[in-house]
Amino acid sequence: MNEERKIEFEEVTEVAAPPKARVMAPSPFEAESLTDKVERKRDYLDGFLAQKPAEPDAGGPGGNVQEAIIEELKTIFDPEIPVNIYDLGLIYNVEVTDDGHAVVTMTLTTPHCPVAESMPGEVELRVGSVPGVGFAEVNLVWDPPWDASKMSDEARLELGML
């Protein structure tokens, strides 16, 4: 284990150049030349890069109507908690069809909430007032039950929970 290892080295003064790559001329039997193939690839890339991203559906996820509905929901506040119902995590889903039918799935903090009768009606009225919404429907669900983990970071910060 205590043996010394010998390191051998060799001094090199000159290194041979690596072989050059050979480019073969296209076969006379090929239908198109190398230049034609390169031009075709450039045309393909030009068409690909010229494409514009598709606009999202007005009512689909990320659409203008859905975003407007979410902004409207952020103006509705829970009377007992000074946070809007969207950031509070009471809104589970917002769907909008192409013909303007909006469906909001929501819950309340508890089934015995004092606004259990009035809050779904207010949400339906506010969503129905958004331009582009022809019919608004609110589904009040209790499963999964609401808990504080559904709140946004902004809501937790507002309530001093962060």
DSSP string, 20-65: PPPPPPPPTTSSS-HHHHHHHHHHHHHHHHHPPPPPPPSSSTT-HH
* Residues 22-75 pLDDT 10s: 766 655 555 556 666 655 555 566 666 677 766 655 555 556 889 999 999 999
Q: How far apart are alpha carbons 12 and 29 in whole angstroms?
A: 48
Q: How far apart are alpha carbons 110 and 116 in whole angstroms?
A: 8
* Residues 99-109 pLDDT 10s: 889 999 999 98
* Contact predicate 69/129, CB 8 Å: no
Six-digit token pair at 7? 């390191």
pTM of the shown model: 0.61
Sign of the Cα pseudo-torsion (84, 85, 88, 93, in order): negative
| Percentage above 90 pLDDT, the chain | 33
Q: Where are the alpha helices (DSSP H) in 51-162?
A: 64-73, 119-128, 153-158
* Contact predicate 120/142, CB 8 Å: no
Q: What is the pLDDT of residue 38?
A: 58
Q: What is the DSSP letter of 125?
A: H
The CB-side HSE value for 146 (13 A sphere, CA atoms) comes to 22
